[in-house]
Each structure stands twice: as C-alpha cells, then as structure tokens.
Amino acid sequence: MYSFKNDYSEGAHPRILNALMESNLVQEDGYGEDQFSRKAVELLKEKMGRTDVDIYLLSGGTQTNLIAISAFLRPHEAAMAASTGHILGHETGAIEATGHKILSIEAENGKLTPSHVQAVLDGHPDEHMVKPKLVYISNSTEIGSIYKKSELEQLSDFCKKNKLILYMDGARLGSALCSEENDIQLSDLPTLVDAFYIGGTKNGALIGEALVICRDSLKEDFRYHMKQKGALLAKGRLLGIQFLELFRDNLFFEMAMHANKMATLLREEISKANIQFLTHSPSNQIFPILPNAFITELEKKYSFHIWEKVDSDHSAIRLVTSWATKEDEVVALIEDLKKYK
C-alpha cells in the first residue's frame, strides 16, 4: 500500500534531521529567542529582500490561521473565503471558535477575485451584520490551483482601496512558487498581501510554518496572541533550526520542485489515457475523475482521498505528491490507472 493521500506522510528531509541532531545538546534560550530562530528570521527577510516585515515561527497551519486571523480582526469583523478554503472545511470551526464568522464564496477553481469580494461587501451594508474585513486566500489553493501575479495584483489593489486585509495561507506555497505556470516570486508577496505564511510541514519539515506580517497595523502584540493560544513554544529552536536548513540554500524549493515533477508526470500520463480532471491544478495535487468501481480496485494498492462525488457512477479522487514521492511508485500508479478503460 503506497500513499498518495497527502504531502506529510513521511517524517522530514534527512538534512533537517541531521541539523536537529547536530544542535541537540547546544543550550539555547526558549520561546523563539534562540540563535537558530533569530537567524532563520533574518535569513527569510534576506530571501524576501525586506527588513520591514515581522516573522514568527509556528508549528502548524491551522494554528497559524486561527491565531493570525483572530489577532487581525476586531470582534464584529468577519473573514471571507472561497467555499473550498481550508478554514471553512478542514479546521473544525477554529476561526469561528475565536468569535469570527467566515463568509463563504462560491469561486471557480478555488480562487477569489475582486468581483467575488465586492458581492460580499454589497450584501453586508451596515452594523446589523458582521463586517467583512479579511480576505482569506491560499496559494496553492485547496484544489491545487495557483494565483498568477496579475490576479493577485488585482485582488491586492481592491483590498487596499476598500481597507480590507488580504491574508494568504501558504501551507503549500512551495509547490505554488515552483509550479511551471507560476510567475510570482517569494519577494513579491510582502507588497501584494498584508500577511502570509511559508509552509514547512507540507514541504519536508517535521513541523513548522513561518508567518510573515507585512502591514504595520497588524504587528502589535503578536507574541501575546501566540502565547495566549499556546503557540509560543518553549523549544522554539526546533522550528528555527528547520527553517535555517530549508532556506540556507535551495532545499525548500528543490523539494517542492520534486513534488511538482511527480505530479506533472501523473497529470500528463493520466491525460493521455483520456481521464478527465475535476479542476485544473498545476501544483502537487491532482483530481482525476474515475468510475467508483475502479476506485475501489485502486484502493487495494494505494491510499488517497475520495474528494467529491461527480455523478452516481463517478467520483474525483485526490492524489498528492511530496518531496519524498518515489518515481517508481508514480509509474506503477500510472500503469494501474491506464487499466480502467
């Protein structure tokens, strides 16, 4: 049984494990004040060419989203997200539990546009409703699509004009930035969004996300929010060491490129077999549509998610590749998928 269920089935890249072992007996301060975390923050600022951002290392994506969004919003304010957004369907009401409503938007291919957001603003005109304030997007999205630079620029301009907060979930940012269709650089993001995070958990780290806060008005007291919600780790060094290793050279991007390469191989060969896809996803997640009976046969050899029922006889499955996905397993899956005809 080989898993294509997610991109965190394996532990971590050996270099990260080695770095953790080599530094294991070095005594350090806690709560992110250690030398490794400080160096990691400076390194990330250097990679982005920005010294005016605040960066915090947190352990996971849901934790990062709930702390950031609840910190950025006032009690009467709400977030907006595509109906496929992670904060809506896969975080157990974490944002709502902090007292903030999420306004769901039906969006083609999982991506929000200014017209989507304008419609929500028009539908919430006064104080008798929550005030839409934060636009939540992810790159890549929950269904594998990515934002092009022009799309993000349009959304960014709209949010600035309407005094909205634009927040990007970057759990799979590595895959998005390394997609063959991508035209955004990491250094572009601080000018385009108000806050975003760089996902390590789904790109070869044991745990870890690096939250980047770009707008000055969102920065105040953020460590208080982290501490109050249990995210200020005593052994914060564990996160700092990993991000130092990820970004001291191109390891972060090399791992994302491998994941994308394996997904591209799957996508191209599946297309040749005339199998249709639920959505266009040029990242490390793909969603082929298959007969239900054939899916049952595939489940005897492979692990994956059945994503969505398409009709009474067909469903879309989600196949996810990672930094550690083996090419021979991809080839084996391709050969099995070709048999369904």
Mean pLDDT of 8-18: 97
Mean of the per-residue pLDDT values of the chain: 97
Range 250-268 burial, b when 16+ CB lie within 10 A, else e: ebbbbbbbbbbbbbbbbbe
Mean pLDDT of 267-296: 95
pLDDT of the residue at 314: 96
Handedness of CA 106, 109, 110, 116 (dihedral sign): negative
Mean pLDDT of 320-335: 97
Chain Cα centroid distance, residue 290: 26
Which residue's entry shows tokens 């590595």?
174
Q: β-strands 165-169, 131-138: how paired?
A: parallel
Q: What is the pLDDT of residues 87-116, one digit of tens each?
A: 998 999 999 999 999 999 999 899 999 999
Chain Cα centroid distance, residue 215: 20
Chain Cα centroid distance, residue 123: 29
Mean pLDDT of 234-258: 98
The C-alpha atoms of residue 177 and residue 168 are separated, in whole angstroms, by 13
CB-based contacts of 246: which residues, under 8 Å, 6+ apart? 16, 200, 203, 204, 205, 252
Task: Name the nearest CA neighbour of 57 among 79, 39, 80, 77.
Answer: 39
**Quick one: tokens of 37?**
């975390």
Is 196 within 8 Å of 168 (Cβ atoms)?
A: yes
Q: β-strands 209-213, 195-199: how paired?
A: antiparallel
**In whole angstroms, how large is the CA radius of gyration of the chain?**
20
Full DSSP string of 268-318: HHHHHTT--BSS---SSEE-BEEEHHHHHHHTTTEE-EEEEE-SSSEEEEE
CA angle 328, 281, 334 (to 5 degrees): 25
**Quick one: tokens of 124?**
């919430």
User: What pTM does this model have?
Assistant: 0.97
Task: Name the nearest CA neighbour of 178 among 196, 193, 199.
Answer: 199
pLDDT of the residue at 176: 98
Share of the chain above pLDDT 90, in %: 97
Range 112-133 burial, b when 16+ CB lie within 10 A, else e: bebebbeebeeebeeeeebebb
Domains of the chain: 2-7+251-340 (3.90.1150.10), 14-247 (3.40.640.10)
The C-alpha atoms of residue 6 and residue 103 are separated, in whole angstroms, by 27
Q: What is the pLDDT of residues 289-321, one digit of tens each?
A: 999 999 999 999 999 999 999 999 999 999 999
pLDDT at 53 over 80: yes
**Quick one: tokens of 2?**
């080989």
